[in-house]
């Protein structure tokens, strides 16, 4: 993929303007570059353009990029993990990840906590909510989370600071708004109990405006930046 720095800059600025226009608290919103389609050279080009907040969805690719972009020159880079995380791949990200967006079960949370203890780390994480109950998606249903919510916040070495979700790609604008408003309500409910629950990761290139309207604090943008 050949990256056009001027086009990326224009697209990024357009998204910043949308954040100011649609978010109730634009100062809290971060744009996460979804870099899963970028090879090492493209990643380096983006870094050299001044961008520093990236999300990877495959643990081994995450590991390889971290190895490549290490050292003082790259110390300001921030890497989140946003893809489905297999238990046997936690070891690839545990020592360097900023935030895990995709904790899609209590069993996975337990395993991340176990690995965090072994590595003497405190990990920030988001519970992935399957807000639309799509069978093809992983994640916890809202009502199931609420039944057992206390146990998700009881880990010694994983701090749950919020939630992540994805709306169905083919959903209408009204449906997307409904799903995202349910997520906003969930975050606000638990923020009253745990004041560190401040993060809501939702919205991608096709639906980030609806996410912003409903209080997203991280929008995960890929194709919109490069078109």
Chain segment 156-205, per-residue pLDDT in tens:
999 999 999 999 988 999 999 999 999 999 999 999 999 999 999 999 99
pLDDT digits (tens, 9 = 90+) for 114-170: 999 999 999 999 999 999 998 888 999 999 999 999 999 999 999 999 999 999 988
Per-residue pLDDT at 1 exceeds 70? no
Confidence of residue 227 (pLDDT cuts 50, 70, 90): confident
Residue 84 makes CB contacts below 8 A (sequence gap 6+) with 57, 102, 104, 138
pLDDT digits (tens, 9 = 90+) for 81-122: 999 999 999 999 999 999 999 999 999 999 999 999 999 999
CA distance 72 to 50: 15
CA distance 220 to 77: 16
CA distance 132 to 138: 11
Q: What percent of the chain stands above pLDDT 90?
A: 93
Phi and psi torsions of 74, nearest 5°: -115, 20
DSSP state of 162: E
User: Whole-model pTM?
Assistant: 0.96
CA distance 10 to 82: 25
Strands (E) located in 13-122: 30-34, 53-56, 78-81, 99-103
Nearest Cα neighbor of 102 from 74, 81, 120, 116 is 81
Residue with token string 């992983």? 138
Nearest Cα neighbor of 124 from 151, 103, 108 is 103
Confidence of residue 19 (pLDDT cuts 50, 70, 90): very high
CA distance 158 to 50: 30
Average pLDDT score over residue span 53-81: 95
């Amino acid at each position: 993929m050949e990256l056009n720095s001027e086009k990326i800059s224009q697209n990024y600025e357009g998204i910043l303007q949308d954040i100011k226009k649609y978010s109730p608290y634009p100062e809290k919103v971060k744009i996460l570059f979804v870099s899963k389609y970028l090879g090492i050279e493209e990643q380096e080009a983006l870094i050299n353009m001044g961008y520093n907040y990236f999300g990877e969805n495959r643990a081994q690719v995450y590991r390889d990029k971290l190895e490549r972009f290490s050292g003082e020159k790259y110390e300001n880079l921030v890497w989140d993990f946003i893809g489905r995380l297999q238990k046997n791949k936690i070891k690839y990200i545990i020592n360097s990840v900023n935030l895990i967006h995709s904790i899609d079960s209590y069993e996975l949370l337990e395993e991340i906590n176990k690995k965090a203890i072994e590595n003497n780390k405190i990990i920030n994480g988001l519970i992935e909510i399957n807000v639309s109950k799509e069978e093809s998606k992983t994640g916890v249903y809202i009502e199931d989370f609420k039944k057992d919510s206390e146990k998700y916040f009881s880990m010694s070495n994983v701090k749950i600071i919020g939630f992540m979700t994805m709306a169905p790609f083919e959903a209408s604008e009204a449906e997307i708004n409904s799903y995202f408003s349910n997520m906003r309500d969930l975050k606000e409910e638990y923020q009253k109990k745990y004041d560190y629950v401040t993060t809501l990761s939702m919205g991608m290139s096709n639906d980030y405006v609806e996410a912003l309207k409903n209080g997203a604090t991280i929008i995960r943008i890929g194709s919109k930046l490069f078109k």
